[in-house]
Structure 1
Amino acid sequence: MRKFWVASGIGIGVCLTFVALLVVGTYSAAAGLAGGARQGAVGLVKGAVPAVYQPLVERWGNLCPALNPALLAAQLYTESNWKPDALSHADARGIAQFIPETWATYGVDGDGDGDRDIWDPKDAIPSAATYDCQLAKDVAQVPGDRSDNMLAAYNAGPYRVIKAGGVPPISETQGYVKSIRSLEKSFARPVGRVAPAQQAAGAVYFAQKQLGTPYLWGGDGTAADNGRFDCSGLTKAAYESVGIELPRVANDQYNAGSHPSRGELLPGDLVFFSDDLTNSRAIRHVGLYVGGGYMINAPFTGAVIRFDKVDTPDYFGATRVTKDGAEALPERSGSTSKP
């Protein structure tokens, strides 16, 4: 709790033509979406919150008008990556990263078992929502967006928000508010279509140039890797080529933007695969959609970067990457690549 206050190499030329046709055709079919897209949340995207925590987030995320389930999910993901045993260097504890002094005042017995356990998500998630809503009350008279002011109070304290008449001019606080509001979109079920991504075509262009390159576990395409990639290394490099820095791991890349439905996929969308379709943290593979039901991906050891079909039983979902979404992602240490 951060606060100031307490595929194969044969026929590459044909493949490139195939990609070009898919990209042009799919973008043509999607013409006009950018101007008419609208965003909002009426619930959580399926699988974005681990299934074991989703009922708690849905219930307590509606505790007050300044909060919603997607916003609460974004906070919890940022604070702990859904780890109930998370412990920070500042002694912030549990899935909601409460420090003991704050917990003593705001911790609640969310599951009604007679205790308030900082390590138990059934107590910690309700406590996080309760704390958020108390902060929203504290700054209710401050002008501006009530959710922004609530988040600013969470990070810098209510006094600073009241004194500033809104989000205070503190870089950490402003960054915290922006990051959580951006991440909120990655947990929210969109209302209407998701706007196309401007950098998508460049990412596809990069990926298509890698067709036929042998797979390498942990490969980032560097000289030391002989230009080889694994799945998330390829997608990371593709978006890095257009100025967007993605995390290294596939399941973290999932939160880099909003989530179009299968019928709304456009070239450049990241497409994800998992053996557990109820939990985005279990994602094990990612590819780059190119249109027509196909993706470019680095599949597994012994294979090459190639086209594969998206429609498989382990298809999890998709992410339309945005620069703001990628920049909002918390840094994860000690991560390794998914295959």
Structure 2
Amino acid sequence: MSATAAVIVAALVQGAGDDPLSTALSLAVPSEYRPLIQEAGNACPEVTPNLLAALLTQESGFNPKARSPVGAQGIAQFMPSTWETHGVDGNGDGKRDVWDPEDAIPAAAGYLCGIAKDIDEVPGDKQSNMLAAYNAGSGAVRKYGGVPPYKETQNYVKSIRALADRPAKGGGTTSPNQAANAVNAAQEMIGTPYSWGGGTAAGPSTGNCCSPNGSSGSATSGFDCSGLTLYAYGKAGIPLPRTAAQQYAASEPLTPGQARPGDLVFYGSNPASIHHVGIYVGGGWMIDAPRPGTRVKFDRLDVMSDLYSFARPKPGHSKEI
């Protein structure tokens, strides 16, 4: 990544109100807990709001008075000894109260992050290992080199991951984790040459002739705009059709206020005239393959004057049309 790209990424992560991808929360959560989960769900890279919400759903169903037969307490089901070590005063009222979600939710996120750091050297999926350790202890995860062969723990991890990856209710659209994978895949292609007609689900490829201005991609391995989005979403497990207009037809249109990082940004005057697509990354920026003679890069959304719509790909509805 170039120094300029690194600065942009840092700004997106740190800028107030930019809504970086990790803040996306698509699960149904009681309204009084949404702000707590949104904030606590950004405590470290391994924890997302959706994953934290899924864990709380699994642990207590968001019941702050839950008590298990073995003595686990509160919305995050801390054992008293664990709370004694890892409980926090999240609301600054001078008390660490396991029964208070304003304390227990940030404490759960912090505890998960501590676990993730503690078992960082264990091979395998970091989120699954972290959840397994939350359930069975870090020692068991280390002993077995990943999720231990305990049916309860394996089902626990599977249930939370499945819930965390569930698409937004009613939309049948890309989940936050899939969107994150698409953004990451596109970001890894920063600096790849533009090639008219270039790019497949497998990566950069030579293109063809010719663009409206007569440029040929037949001698250049790289991406055009829709080739890049096709590749990025392919890495997220979502096949897209080839052209920008077809990709718009295979996606769910959004208002700008609904857009989150990972959504697609389309340019044109109507669906039939769409001529460009990029991947929104938050804060008024996207990753795109702009035009012949350029490379894949970060661009402002206003780089073109005819922004038509944001849209979210719909898995299973991406056949070429």
TM-score (ref. length: structure 1)? 0.43
Q: Say which structure, 1 or 2, has more relative contact order (CA 8 Å, 6+ apart).
A: 1
TM-score (ref. length: structure 2)? 0.46
